[in-house]
Amino acid sequence: MIVLLTNDDGIYAEGIQMLGEALLQDEELELYIVAPNHERSATGHAITMHRPLRAEETHFYHNTNLKGWAVNGTPSDSVKLAIEYLLPQKPDLVISGINRGANIGTDVLYSGTVSAAIEAIILGIPAIAVSLVIPPADNKAPDFRFAANFVLRIMRYICEHSLPADTLLNINVPNRARREIAGVAITRLGLQQYRNAFQKRVDPRGKSYYWLAGEPEETVGEEGEDTDVAAVKKSYVSITPIQFDLTNYQMLDSLRKINWEI
């Protein structure tokens, strides 16, 4: 099995390194790491068109045959370049993560982690995105071990059952010890809304600037218990199947009934 590992926190981030080490325990796995050379969070599905990309070969973990490339682009660039050019053949699975911080609800649209996995399924490769849920108020250091082991289990599931070609699994794992995790919830994407989205400040020269800020709104009650937003709040591992067709099929018929003369 050939696995491509990527992320959006950058190739040297703790989450991808921990996951890489866990995956290397499986000796039947052929592992490649291709990821941005520095943090590219909140880049959404951006790709680099107006300048060329560089891919620098990178070595981690002594005494392994692991190959890695650090790309001076976005997570989606990294996956595209890896699959279309760098890897000797197409991978069987792309894993994006482990991200430091949740990727849930509407926020997945901004997520470099999830977008890297979406790039994979666009190219016909099954994918999973994995994130560690670290609530802002929580002072615990991130511990990627349980999440890394969970990824190994999910991989076995995918080997046995396979995923639909156009679907990835978006997995959010609480930053907790195994005994504190409530279970696994299969969820739909919730709505993650923020209040006080921007803070206005004034620079030393009297000109205004705006910081993206915002605290998540507590909307769980209103929009249902079966969302990823609700699941992670209750310390569940959340697994959401995600596809990339944004068409609103319900609306096609009503639009077709309109007389659209040119």
CA–CA separation, 124 vs 76, rounded Å?
A: 14
Q: Is 100 in the site for a copy of itself (CB under 8 A)?
A: no
Binding-site string for a copy of itself from residue 64 to residue 93, where x marks contact by CB under 8 A and - marks none: ------------xx--xx--xx--------
**Binding range to a copy of itself, per CB under 8 A, among 27-35, 58-66, 95-103, 109-117:** 109-117
Answer yes or no: are the C-beta atoms of 71 and 36 closer than 8 Å.
yes
Give 20 or 104: the residue with its C-beta nearer to a copy of itself.
104
Closest CA to 114 of 192, 106, 22: 106
Q: Is 246 in the site for a copy of itself (CB under 8 A)?
A: yes
Q: Which of 137, 141, 202, 258 binds a copy of itself (CB under 8 A)?
A: 258
CA–CA separation, 78 vs 210, rounded Å?
A: 30
Would you call 254 helix, strand, or coil by DSSP?
helix
DSSP code, position 204: T
User: Omega of the bond prior to 98 within 30 degrees of 0, cis?
Assistant: yes
Give 17 or 78: the residue with its C-beta nearer to a copy of itself.
78
Tell the smallest beta-carbon distance from residue 31 to a copy of itself (Å): 22
**Binding range to a copy of itself, per CB under 8 A, among 9-17, 25-33, 41-49, 217-225:** 41-49
Tell the smallest beta-carbon distance from residue 27 to a copy of itself (Å): 25
Tell the smallest beta-carbon distance from residue 129 to a copy of itself (Å): 11
Q: In the block, which residue shows the tokens 């709104």?
A: 217
CA–CA separation, 96 vs 116, rounded Å?
A: 6
